[in-house]
Amino acid sequence: MANHQLNQAYTKAFETFLSHTNEKLILLEYLGKLIQSREVSSVLDIGAGNGDLAIPLAREVGRYVAVEQKPNYANTLRNSNLFVYQAVFPCLIDGKFDLVLGSHIIPWRKEEYTPLIFAAWDLVATYGQLVLITYDDTEHSAWNELRDGCNLPTSRRSGSRIDLFREVLETLGEVEVIELVTAVETNTLDELCQALAFVYSDGEIEKLTFFLKNEAVRTYLETNHKTEGRYSFPFTHYVLQVSKLPQAEFI
C-alpha cells in the first residue's frame, strides 16, 4: 500500500474508535463528580489530547491549563480558548493546581514515568490531588483474552502497570485505585474490527493491517462479543489518585 493509503487506513481506524467508544463520557462523568465533591477550582491536564475530554472538562473549573506536545492538538485547544503549554511534560509550569490530571499519558518505562509522576506531584496544591488514568494488562481483561484467544503477538511487557505506578505513588501518600469500565459499541463486525485495530496498532501501521486481515480475530469477536445483533467490547481504566496532605508536601 502507498503511504497515503496507509495513513488513510490509520485515520479511519482512529475515527471509528473515537466515534464508537463511550470512554470520554465515562471519564468526564467521573472527573465531573470528583471536581464537585472536592470543590476543585483549578486543573492542570497533562497530555490534554484533541479536546474531546479537555474542552468539556475545562468548562467545569475556573482555571484550566493544558500541556500538550502535539502542535495540531495544542492549536485545537487554543482555538477553544484554552490556555495551553505546547510542550513535552515535565516542563516549566506556573502555579499549583487543585487537580493535576494525567489521563492515558503515562509512559511504559520506569525511567520515564518516575520523573513524570514526581514533576506532576510538585504541581499539586496542598489538599489537591494527583489523578492518573491508565489501562492495565490484567490476566482476565477482555483485551488479553482476545490476544490469547487469537494468538496475537504483543510487544507489551507482562505484569501489572498499576502495581508499578502504585510503588512510585505510595512514596507520595495513600493511593486510591478506582476501576472504570468503558466500551466500544458498534452495529457491525467491520466497525468493531476497525476500532480495535486502532487500539492494537499502538500507532504502527503494520500492526493495524495485520489485525484487520486476521480472520481469527473476526471469528473470535463474532463468537464472544455479539449480543442481540450488536457488538460490544469492554475496556477497564484504572484511576490512581493521591491527595496532598499538608505534611506530605515536604517529602
The CB-of-196 to ligand SAM minimum distance in angstroms stands at 16
E strand or H helix at 102: strand 97-103
What is the distance, to the nearest Å, from the Cα of residue 178 to the centroid of all Cα atoms in its chain?
Answer: 14
CB atoms within 10 A of CB 78: 15
Q: Which is nearer to ligand SAM, 33 or 213 (CB)?
A: 33
Compare residues 202 and 222 and give the one whose CB is closer to ligand SAM. 202
CB of 20 to ligand SAM, least distance (A): 15
Residue 47 or 173: which CB sits closer to ligand SAM?
Answer: 47
Given the complex with ligand SAM, which of 115 and 149 has the nearer CB atom? 115
DSSP H or E run through 119: helix 110-122
Minimum CB separation from ligand SAM for residue 59, in Å?
A: 15
Residue 19 and residue 85: Cα distance in Å, rounded? 27
Q: Which residues bind ligand SAM (CB under 6 A)?
A: 47-49, 53, 67-70, 73, 88-89, 103-105
Phi and psi of 194, rounded to 5°?
A: -60, -50
Q: Residue holding cell 475545562?
A: 58
Closest approach of Cβ 106 to ligand SAM, in Å? 8
Specify the residue for cell string 464537585.
Answer: 36
